[in-house]
Each structure stands twice: as structure tokens, then as C-alpha cells.
């Protein structure tokens, strides 16, 4: 998941949490206000009821008239006037027990059960005591709360949608310099390492640009060093080796076959040839690490390339037994095309097939070609000595040779070179191996249509 998307989601989650908390506070205080307001209305009715029924006079008649004309009649409103007994105690006439006890103990109380509200107080009249209770329902208050809940719900949904799009716009704006930086970095290859990133200000993006520029300085120096080595090594190293080899060959021809000098000269020639092979492998390995744009890129039929590679192997190792399996190739020939350098790909496939033949002691090697998800898959499977499981991770390290390969000639350059070439073509290599059972190497290359 991209950081831009993460920021959008985190912004959305934080804003949603704040909205939920705000809505909860609004509902809570609305409940409290609504209930308190209704209880005040009930308390007013308790006082008026006590005045009218216990202290009748001219004013109480006015109270009665005002109440009847101007006070709203509450739903299920009910008045109760309860006189205490001779002992001064009250008998519960069916009121909620908690409410009744609270009024008796405190002199007044409020109580709510579901949507039924109660308010009451004890009033003294002469030597007598009276319990005045008014109860009613509050459907309008409940409806008001329900409407508020509906408004808050739809407001919450709308706010979340707005926050989502605002978060996306916000993160898009914040990451604009990062995208610009990424686009610029993607244009830099080994062929234009002199390019640098522009940076202004003193923010984190400027620091990142400066870090990239420092890295590019080091990379440019390293590539120039490698380029100079590869450019000069052919002449500076191969020429002396060629002269040595020619002089040794001339000396061998002038010595007797069974002489000690002949044996020494033959050894020198053999080691010189070996050194030349190692040098050629190293130079090719270094060259294969260059940017692909420097190579001669073209469209290649992979099945034809495989036949060319097999032909090259058989010229070097005539005793090789290679079987080709093209049963799974598609009818559409366009899917067999890959983009790349024919010579480099030929070298990579040849190295892998050659290794399979050599380390299987020239038993059957199967080369299979298939297409899957716009990827060309070349499988080279042998019945050879295999690779120990603990050493599989090292086989693409230059000059590394498995512990069971001492009886076979090699320099440990072929597979690293093949991997470099395949990576240069934006592909990958997979390997499965078991000691004394064989090795299966799969080469994955993107089809040209991809």
C-alpha cells in the first residue's frame, strides 16, 4: 500500500473518530437537556397542583384558569394527591418503588422509566402531610431525539465522504514533490548519471534530494571506474596473455614430447588458457551489468534462441543429451517474442544448459518452453549431482562453487553471468535442486507484448 493511501486512510480514521466522539457528546447533552426540561415542566405542575388542591383561594382559581387555558396538556398526564396516615407514613399507591422511597426520604424526587416521567414532593398542610405526584410521557422529546439522531447519522455519512475526498486531495497535494522526485529519479540511468535532482528550501524533500545527489556522485564515480576498466582490460590484459600463449606454443613445438621442459611448458599453456577464460568471463560479467539501453535491443523469438543455444552447447560438448519440450507453447507466435539482446540472452541460456549437461555427466537434460501471465518460462531440468540445500543461496555469487563440484572443471562465473543478463532483461531466475536427484532452473522473461 502506498504511503499516500495510508495517509488518506489514517486521516479518514482520525476524522471519523472525532466525528463519532462529537456526535456522542451532542446526543448525550441533548438527552440531558431534554430530560431536565421535561422534569422542570413536571415540577411546575406539581407546585401548581399542590397550590390548587391544598390551598384554595382566589389566587388558586386564577392558577387553575391559567393552567387550563395556557399550559400544554402532557401525554398521559396524571395527578395524584396522597395523604399520609395517622402515623405520618404514606402508603405506596402503585408508584415505582425507587421513586416512592426517594420522595419519602428526601422530600422530593424525579424518576424516569422508559418514556414515563415522574415528579413529586411532600407538602405540609396544617398537621397533615401530602404527597403530590405528577406523571406524564414525553413522546415529543423522544421524537426530537430520534430526529436529531437521524440528522447526525446522515451528517456523519456525508462528512465521512467529504473527508475521504478531502483526504485524497490533501495527500495528493502533500506528495506532489515526492512524485516529481520519483519521476526525475526514474529518468536517471547509467547513461546519464551526470544528471542531478533540483532542490530548494530546507524541508525533508530537499534533504532527500541532496541525499540522492550524493549517492549519484558515488555511482557516477563507480560507473566511470568500471567503464574505464572494461574499456581498457581487453587490450591491456588480453594482449600480454595472447603473447605469452603464442611464445609458449612456439617453445612447445621446439621441445621433445617426453622432456621435462615440454611438461612445464604444457602446464604454463594450460594455466594461461584458463586465465584467459576467467578474464573473458569477468569482462563479460562486468559488461552485462550495464544499462540495457547501451545494448543492441531487438525482438527475439525465444524458441529459435533455445535452438541456437542448444547448437552452441553441442559444438562444445558433442556428447550432450538434450531433449526439447515445446508441447505447451501457444498457437499465437507473438507470445513467444521477447525484447532483448540476442547475443547476451544466447550466452545466458547456453551457460545454464551447458552447466546442466556437465553436472549431470551428460545424462538427459530437458529444456521446456511455456507461456504464463505474459511471461516466457524456460525450464532446464537435469538428472545430475544437484546442489546442497545450504548452498543454494550462494550459487549466484561469482566464483562460488558447490562443495560437490570439485571433480568438474569450472570457474563459478557462468550462473552469475546468466543472472546478470536475465535481470538486465527485467526477468528472474528460479531454482529447485536436490542432491543426487538433479536441478531444475527456470528462467522468467517478460513477453514483448507485456
* Grid cell locating 379: 525450464
Q: Are residues 322 and 395 in the same domain?
A: yes
Asked whether residue 187 is assigned to any structural domain, the reply reads: no
Asked whether residue 309 is assigned to any structural domain, the reply reads: yes
Asked whether residue 123 is assigned to any structural domain, the reply reads: yes
Q: Residues near 403 by Cβ (< 8 Å), separated by ≥ 6? A: 388, 391
157-171, 279-293, 392-406: which range is least confident on average? 279-293
C-beta contacts of 54-63 below 8 A and 24+ residues apart? 54/81, 54/123, 54/125, 54/130, 54/132, 55/125
pLDDT surpasses 60 at 295 = no
Residue finishing a domain among 103, 128, 147 = 147
List the CATH number of the domain containing 423. Answer: 3.30.565.10
Residue 64 is predicted with a pLDDT of 67
Asked whether residue 224 is assigned to any structural domain, the reply reads: yes
Asked whether residue 408 is assigned to any structural domain, the reply reads: yes
Q: What percent of the chain has pLDDT over 90?
A: 28
Q: Quick one: average pLDDT of 395-405?
A: 87
Q: What percent of the chain has pLDDT over 70?
A: 89
List the CATH number of the domain containing 225. Answer: 1.10.287
pLDDT surpasses 60 at 289 = no
Q: Are residues 303 and 403 in the same domain?
A: yes
189-198, 225-234, 343-352: which range is least confident on average? 225-234
Neighbours of 194 (CB within 10 A): 8
Give the integer Cα–Cα distance in Å for 273 and 283.
15
User: What does the angle CA 368 – CA 372 – CA 377 come to, to the nearest 5 degrees?
Assistant: 35
Q: Residues near 333 by Cβ (< 8 Å), separated by ≥ 6? A: 301
Average pLDDT score over the chain: 84
pLDDT surpasses 60 at 107 = yes
Helix axes 239-254, 260-287, angle to 10 degrees: 160
Residue 73 vs residue 360, higher pLDDT: 360
pLDDT surpasses 90 at 93 = no
The number of CA neighbours under 13 Å toward the Cβ of 443 is 29
Residue finishing a domain among 223, 255, 287 = 287
Q: Quick one: average pLDDT of 272-295?
A: 63
Asked whether residue 350 is assigned to any structural domain, the reply reads: yes
pLDDT tens digit sequence for 354-364 = 999 999 999 99
Q: Are residues 217 and 269 in the same domain?
A: yes
Residue 186 is predicted with a pLDDT of 84
159-163, 233-237, 295-299: which range is least confident on average? 233-237
Q: Quick one: average pLDDT of 97-124?
A: 90
Q: Residues near 230 by Cβ (< 8 Å), separated by ≥ 6? A: 283, 286, 287
Q: Quick one: average pLDDT of 305-318?
A: 90
CA 410 to chain centre: 42
Residue 292 is predicted with a pLDDT of 43
Q: Are residues 254 and 329 in the same domain?
A: no
* Grid cell locating 431: 531454482
* β-pair partners for 324: 367
Rg (CA), the chain: 47
Residue 70 is predicted with a pLDDT of 61
Residue finishing a domain among 287, 305, 335 = 287
Residue 55 vs residue 235, higher pLDDT: 55
6-20, 39-53, 94-108, 184-198: which range is least confident on average? 184-198
Q: Residue 109: helix, strand or coil by DSSP?
A: strand
Q: Where are the alpha helices (DSSP H) in 360-443?
A: 414-424
Residue 288 is predicted with a pLDDT of 58
Q: Quick one: average pLDDT of 280-287?
A: 64
Q: Residues near 422 by Cβ (< 8 Å), separated by ≥ 6? A: 348, 428, 429, 443, 444, 445
Most confident segment among 229-238, 295-304, 429-438: 429-438
Q: Are residues 238 and 360 in the same domain?
A: no
62-71, 205-214, 326-335: which range is least confident on average? 62-71
Asked whether residue 241 is assigned to any structural domain, the reply reads: yes
Residue 287 is predicted with a pLDDT of 61
Q: Quick one: average pLDDT of 292-319?
A: 83
Q: The cell 521477447 sits on which residue?
A: 338
User: How many distinct structural domains can be found in the chain?
Assistant: 3
pLDDT surpasses 80 at 329 = yes
Q: Are residues 319 and 337 in the same domain?
A: yes
Q: Residue 90: helix, strand or coil by DSSP?
A: coil
Residue 55 vs residue 388, higher pLDDT: 388
pLDDT tens digit sequence for 235-262 = 677 778 888 888 888 888 888 777 788 8
205-214, 345-354, 433-442: which range is least confident on average? 205-214
Of 410, 397, 404, nearest to 358 by C-alpha is 410
Q: Quick one: average pLDDT of 132-146?
A: 86
Q: Are residues 238 and 339 in the same domain?
A: no
User: What does the angle CA 116 – CA 118 – CA 120 come to, to the nearest 5 degrees?
Assistant: 170
Residue 58 is predicted with a pLDDT of 58
Q: Residues near 432 by Cβ (< 8 Å), separated by ≥ 6? A: 439, 440
Residue 38 is predicted with a pLDDT of 87
Q: Are residues 441 and 298 in the same domain?
A: yes
Residue 13 is predicted with a pLDDT of 92
Residue 401 is predicted with a pLDDT of 87
Asked whether residue 102 is assigned to any structural domain, the reply reads: yes
Give the integer Cα–Cα distance in Å for 363 and 358.
9
Q: Quick one: average pLDDT of 306-312?
A: 91
Q: Are residues 397 and 358 in the same domain?
A: yes
Q: Are residues 258 and 310 in the same domain?
A: no
Q: Are residues 281 and 349 in the same domain?
A: no
Band of residue 293 on the pLDDT scale cut at 50, 70, 90: very low
Band of residue 303 on the pLDDT scale cut at 50, 70, 90: very high
- CA distances in angstroms from 403 to 354, 413, 450, listed in the order given: 19, 16, 40
Q: Are residues 375 and 442 in the same domain?
A: yes
What is the residue range of 120's domain? 3-147
pLDDT surpasses 90 at 17 = yes
Amino acid at each position: 500500500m502506498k504511503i499516500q493511501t495510508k495517509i488518506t486512510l489514517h486521516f479518514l480514521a482520525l476524522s471519523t473518530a472525532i466525528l463519532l466522539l462529537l456526535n456522542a457528546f451532542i446526543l448525550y447533552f441533548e438527552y440531558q437537556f431534554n430530560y431536565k426540561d421535561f422534569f422542570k415542566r413536571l415540577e411546575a405542575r406539581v407546585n401548581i397542583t399542590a397550590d390548587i388542591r391544598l390551598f384554595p383561594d382566589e389566587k388558586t382559581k386564577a392558577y387553575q384558569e391559567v393552567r387550563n387555558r395556557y399550559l400544554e396538556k402532557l401525554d398521559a398526564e396524571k395527578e395524584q394527591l396522597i395523604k399520609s396516615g395517622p402515623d405520618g407514613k404514606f402508603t405506596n399507591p402503585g408508584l415505582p418503588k425507587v421513586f416512592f422511597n426517594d420522595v419519602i426520604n428526601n422530600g422530593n424526587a424525579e424518576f424516569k422509566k422508559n418514556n414515563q416521567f415522574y415528579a413529586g414532593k411532600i407538602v405540609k398542610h396544617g398537621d397533615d402531610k401530602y404527597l403530590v405526584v405528577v406523571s406524564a410521557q414525553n413522546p415529543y422529546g423522544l421524537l426530537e431525539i430520534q430526529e436529531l439522531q437521524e440528522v447526525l447519522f446522515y451528517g456523519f455519512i456525508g462528512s465521512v465522504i467529504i473527508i475521504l475526498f478531502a483526504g485524497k486531495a490533501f495527500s495528493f497535494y502533500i506528495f506532489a514533490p515526492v512524485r516529481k522526485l520519483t519521476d526525475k529519479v526514474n529518468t536517471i540511468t547509467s547513461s546519464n548519471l551526470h544528471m542531478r535532482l533540483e532542490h530548494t528550501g530546507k524541508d525533508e524533500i530537499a534533504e532527500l534530494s541532496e541525499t540522492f545527489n550524493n549517492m549519484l556522485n558515488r555511482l557516477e564515480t563507480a560507473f566511470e571506474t568500471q567503464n574505464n576498466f572494461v574499456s581498457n582490460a581487453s587490450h591491456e590484459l588480453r594482449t600480454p596473455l595472447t603473447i605469452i600463449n603464442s611464445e609458449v606454443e612456439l617453445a612447445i613445438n621446439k621441445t621433445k614430447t617426453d622432456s621435462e621442459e615440454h611438461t612445464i611448458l604444457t602446464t604454463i599453456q594450460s594455466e594461461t588458457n584458463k586465465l584467459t577464460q576467467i578474464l573473458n568471463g569477468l569482462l563479460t560479467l562486468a559488461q552485462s551489468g550495464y544499462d540495457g539501453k547501451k545494448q543492441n535491443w531487438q525482438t527475439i523469438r525465444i524458441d529459435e534462441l533455445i535452438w541456437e543455444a542448444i547448437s552452441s552447447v553441442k559444438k562444445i560438448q558433442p556428447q550432450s543429451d538434450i531433449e526439447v519440450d515445446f508441447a505447451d507453447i501457444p498457437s499465437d507466435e507473438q507470445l513467444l517474442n521477447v525484447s532483448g539482446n540476442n547475443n547476451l540472452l544466447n550466452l545466458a541460456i547456453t551457460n545454464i544448459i551447458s552447466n546442466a549437461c556437465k553436472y549431470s555427466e551428460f545424462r538427459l537434460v530437458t529444456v521446456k518452453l511455456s507461456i504464463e501471465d505474459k511471461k516466457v518460462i524456460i525450464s532446464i531440468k537435469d538428472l545430475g549431482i544437484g546442489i546442497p540445500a545450504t548452498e543454494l543461496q550462494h550459487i549466484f555469487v561469482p566464483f562460488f562453487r558447490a562443495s560437490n563440484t570439485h571433480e568438474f572443471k569450472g570457474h563459478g562465473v557462468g550462473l552469475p553471468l546468466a543472472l546478470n543478463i536475465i535481470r538486465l532483461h527485467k526477468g528472474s531466475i528460479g531454482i529447485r535442486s536436490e542432491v543426487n536427484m538433479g536441478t531444475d532452473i527456470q528462467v522468467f522473461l517478460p513477453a514483448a507484448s507485456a
